[in-house]
Structure 1
Amino acid sequence: MRHLPLPALLITFALFAAVCAPGTGHADPAEHLTYMTEEYWPMNYTRNGRLAGLSVELLKRMWREMGVPEQPIHLFPWPRAYDMGHVDPRTMLFSMYRTKGRESDFKWVGPIVQGKTEVFTLRSRGLNARSLKDLGGWRLAAVRDVASANILRDAGLPYSGSRTPDTAIGMLARDRVDAVAMDALQFHHFAARLGCPFGEFKPIMTLCTDPLYYAFSLDTPDALIERFQKALKAVTREPGYRALLDRYLN
């Protein structure tokens, strides 16, 4: 056997030790996740080409609390992001309504805030409804795969599924549907962005008031879910947390 010179032997030993040393060369499990969100003001949205919003700011603070560098956040239309969250491993999707129908499909960290989903109509139509049963026979619209669309589906109510909120609201503004089921904050934001007068629409029914959460794919380790939950709890106890809520919600 040919013996290595002492300098070469020392270098070889150092490389071997660096590779085999425990805890080195391994990224934090939180860095192996794919983070996805959508345009959903004021929770997560683009402003001057950058992601902003309450859930984005909270996530960045959670990363800092966990000692994790900021990770890329991918922006997709909700139906695509939701499909990827169901199929792709090691994903985190936000902000998502935590409903009974979704409970077993994801692992959850939260709550972020309390949500509110309503049914909106054109005020000029004078339509009213007290229950989902009253919506039978109406032309309805909702964004595909959001909580409101799932509620309509589970009630056996057919609806036109759109890819984006502004498409659904545009259908209502042009009187192509009788009502739109949508998150209340999201509806008002996109209606204003489309230039629709605030008083043109009215909510006639509340569908749900479930909380919004960060949703993780089922293969995410429970230990990582617990770390995120502890980080969120720590962040909500920080002195600047109340000011953060006021900035985005008031």
Structure 2
Amino acid sequence: MGKNHRQRSVLATFLMLFVCLNAGATTLQVVTEDSSYSALEGGKVIGVASEVVEMTLANAGITDYHMALYPWARAYDIARLEANVLIYPMIRSSAREALFKWVGELEQVTPSFYKLRERRDVVVKALQDASRYTVGVVRDDSRQQYLEGKGFSRMVVSPNNLDNLRKLISGQVELIPMPEREAREQCADLHIAFEDLESVFTLDELSKGLYVALSASTPEETVQRIAAAFALLKQDGTVDKVIAGH
């Protein structure tokens, strides 16, 4: 074998090894929705939950990731169907438990039904009272799934909570289920007073943790690194402070 041929052979072997090594290095997709926890500004995903996620990944030594904001149904499908996907913030429910690998809790949330304060004809004293009205929900959100299970049939599906609030204001829907934090944030986005809304019924059964999660087929080593990094931020109070906006 000639010298040049040996050099080409060594180079080919090196290139093949390089390709094989990089084939296993997959960029982590980080997906979220437009909410009080995350938003898009100047082409960058920002927000309190996004800040926590970025700190977590930095502490986990993960730099190869891409953050993107989608309608919730799209973000949820990406995380449910693809590997190496981190999704936030997401309600942890029994129906979702086995579909994802759970990193950690951002905070507890309890949604309420909101109506326009001026709509005195909309009266809700029990959950089934609400089923008589048109209700705005987000596609594939836990609130939609919960209300469907309770027999609600007059639901109007939107891609996000901001569209729901617009429909409430325009009279297309009469109720929207939303945590107070989210309701205040969306009112600010639409430049309307939060006091124009009225909480009429608290959905205590939907009081659950809002989590960071990973797709089920994400490698276990990646899951453990991210979960450990999040746990440290939770333990020292950083998560709570950032989510509270302090």
TM-score norm. by structure 1 comes to 0.83
Work out the CA distance in 1 between the residues paired with 2:80 and 2:67: 17
State the match for 1:150 in structure 2: 145
Assess, with a 3 A threshold, how the Cα gap between structure 1 residues 161 and 241 changes in structure 2: closer, same or farther.
closer
Structure number, greater radius of gyration: 1
Residue type at the aligned position of 2:189: R
Work out the CA distance in 2 between the residues paired with 1:203 and 1:176: 18
State the match for 1:100 in structure 2: 94
- Give 1:122 deviation, angstroms: 1.3
State the match for 1:216 in structure 2: 214
- Give 1:98 deviation, angstroms: 0.8
Equivalent positions of 1:1-250 (< 5 A) are 3-5=1-3, 9=6, 12-13=9-10, 16=13, 20=17, 25-26=21-22, 31-41=26-36, 43-126=37-120, 127-158=122-153, 159-207=155-203, 208-237=206-235, 243-246=241-244, 248=245
Assess, with a 3 A threshold, how the Cα gap between structure 1 residues 242 and 157 changes in structure 2: closer, same or farther.
closer
- Give 1:28 deviation, angstroms: 7.2
Assess, with a 3 A threshold, how the Cα gap between structure 1 residues 201 and 239 changes in structure 2: closer, same or farther.
closer
- Unaligned residue ranges in structure 2 (runs of 5+): none
- Give 1:96 deviation, angstroms: 0.6
Deviation track 1:145-187 (CA, whole Å, cap 9, x = no partner) reads 1122122111111211111222211121122322111233222
Work out the CA distance in 2 between the residues paired with 1:68 and 1:212: 23
- Give 1:84 deviation, angstroms: 2.6
TM-score norm. by structure 2 comes to 0.84
Deviation track 1:47-99 (CA, whole Å, cap 9, x = no partner) reads 34321122211222222222221521111111222233233333222111112
Assess, with a 3 A threshold, how the Cα gap between structure 1 residues 235 and 18 changes in structure 2: closer, same or farther.
farther
- Unaligned residue ranges in structure 1 (runs of 5+): none
Assess, with a 3 A threshold, how the Cα gap between structure 1 residues 14 and 237 changes in structure 2: closer, same or farther.
farther
Assess, with a 3 A threshold, how the Cα gap between structure 1 residues 184 and 239 changes in structure 2: closer, same or farther.
closer
Work out the CA distance in 2 between the residues paired with 1:16 and 1:70: 26
Alpha carbons 1:148, 1:183 under 8 Å: kept: no
Alignment coverage as a number of residue pairs: 241
Q: Aligned Cα RMSD in Å? A: 2.7
Residue type at the aligned position of 1:211: G
* Greater mean alpha carbon deviation, residues 147-156 or residues 216-225: 216-225
- Give 1:110 deviation, angstroms: 0.7
Alpha carbons 2:106, 2:239 under 8 Å: kept: no
Work out the CA distance in 2 between the residues paired with 1:191 and 1:197: 6
SS of the equivalent of 1:25 reads helix
Assess, with a 3 A threshold, how the Cα gap between structure 1 residues 25 and 81 changes in structure 2: closer, same or farther.
same
Residue type at the aligned position of 1:124: E
- Give 1:14 deviation, angstroms: 6.8
Deviation track 1:94-145 (CA, whole Å, cap 9, x = no partner) reads 1111122222222211112222222101112234424322223111111111
